[in-house]
Amino acid sequence: MSHALPDLTYELGHAPHIVAGVDEAGRGPWAGPVVAAAVILDPAAIPDGLNDSKKLSAARRAALFAALGATARIGVGQASVDEIDRLNILHATMLAMQRAVANLPTRPDIALIDGNRTPDLPCAAEAIVKGDGRSLSIAAASIIAKVTRDRIMAELDTQFPGYGWKTNQGYGTKPHQAGLLRLGVTPHHRRSFKPIHKILCEDSLLSR
């Protein structure tokens, strides 16, 4: 069964207003920040092949990341591990989205948000479930957020080798679990996440 590709239906529905697509990367991993991106596309220069970042190869994402950087208006924001642990992952994601929109070079009239919730923004906002597969602006934001976060995790992997972050991006894969058992918890692990919290509790009991 073929699936429709994202298009400009939502964006054109808000014409002539300035529309930004907003998406995040990194809600589920055990380590690293959550990253959000906001993208205002140039309708006359939309790169071919924009789609939900999860449906694209790493090489294709990198090429589209570069193409968007040359043609679109982009804002990126993130929430740190400390903010994730203090606020919870949902509120930290909303904070990252707010920062992404604030970092746009142009203030949008409306933001199309991937998902079923919208952050408090200085513009109108519309939540679109599975929006990264429906709206080109959100698809673009998903690519910017994903590539940005993957590069952050690759850099952290050089500082904290042994967890496989360059390939697992902080998700709870077997190599990551093995690294935790062998090396312990780093400052970049999300202590509020159950698997990490469990390890810290066990370590605390053993050290008594």
In a domain, 146, yes or no: yes
Q: Which domain range does residue 138 map to?
A: 9-158
In a domain, 130, yes or no: yes
What stretches of 26-177 adopt beta strand conformation (E)?
Answer: 34-40, 73-79, 110-114, 124-128
* Distance from C-alpha of 199 to C-alpha of 195, rounded to nearest angstrom: 6
In a domain, 107, yes or no: yes
pLDDT in tens, 16-74: 999 999 999 999 999 999 999 999 999 999 999 999 999 999 999 999 999 999 999 99
The CATH number covering residue 54 comes to 3.30.420.10
In a domain, 175, yes or no: no
Calculate the CA dihedral of residues 64, 93, 152, 63 and round it to 10 degrees.
0
- pTM of this prediction? 0.95
pLDDT in tens, 154-163: 999 999 999 9
| Cα atoms in the 13 Å half-sphere on the side-chain side of 131 | 28
In a domain, 124, yes or no: yes
Number of domains in the chain: 1
* Distance from C-alpha of 139 to C-alpha of 134, rounded to nearest angstrom: 8
In a domain, 203, yes or no: no
In a domain, 199, yes or no: no
Burial of residue 118 (CB within 10 Å: 0-12, 13-18, 19+) is middle
